């Protein structure tokens, strides 16, 4: 019951702000405020508030494990090594393509033939 009151109070406050923005002829901003104002009521009516709480709890648990679990740090190091290797191979691949392109263009472009007078 308290969740419903909070959700609809937030929606009402957001709609009020959107109305003020529209009154000041800032219709784009008013539309954005109205769109954001509808989120709490929509989350409550669809029953997604418990899901959001579960997601928040799981993220908090992950953050606690991140700080204290060496296995998580090992995973982060492996992810960093993977990203580093991908970025390096991409950079070396592009560098090689540029070098090959320059080498291919250099022999084909020679001095212009002399024109007969």
Look up the pTM and report it: 0.49
Beta-carbon contacts of 43 under 8 Å, excluding residues fewer than 6 positions away, are 7, 49, 52
Ranges of residues in the chain whose predicted pLDDT is under 50: none
- The string of pLDDT tens digits covering residues 90-105 is 888 887 766 665 555 5
The answer to whether residues 46 and 85 belong to one domain is no
For residue 14, the enclosing domain spans 1-62
The answer to whether residues 7 and 49 belong to one domain is yes
- The string of pLDDT tens digits covering residues 40-55 is 999 999 998 888 889 9
Q: Which of 62, 79, 94 is the last residue of a domain?
A: 62
pLDDT at 68: 81
H runs (alpha helix) in 2-109? 2-23, 27-46, 49-68, 70-108
The answer to whether residues 78 and 53 belong to one domain is no
Long-range contacts of 36-42 (CB under 8 A, 24+ apart): 37/10, 37/11, 37/13, 38/11, 38/14, 40/6, 40/7, 40/8, 40/10, 40/11, 40/14, 41/7, 41/8, 41/10, 41/11
């Amino acid at each position: 019951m308290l969740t419903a009151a909070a959700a609809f109070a937030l929606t009402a406050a957001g709609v009020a702000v959107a109305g003020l923005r529209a009154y000041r002829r800032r219709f784009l901003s008013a539309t954005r405020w109205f769109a954001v104002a509808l989120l709490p009521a929509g989350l409550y009516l669809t029953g997604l508030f418990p899901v959001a709480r579960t997601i928040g709890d799981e993220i908090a648990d992950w953050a606690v494990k991140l700080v204290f679990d060496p296995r998580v740090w090992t995973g982060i190091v492996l992810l960093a090594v993977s990203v580093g290797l991908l970025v390096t191979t991409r950079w070396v691949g592009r560098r090689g393509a540029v070098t090959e392109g320059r080498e291919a263009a250099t022999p084909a472009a020679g001095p212009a033939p002399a024109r007969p007078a």
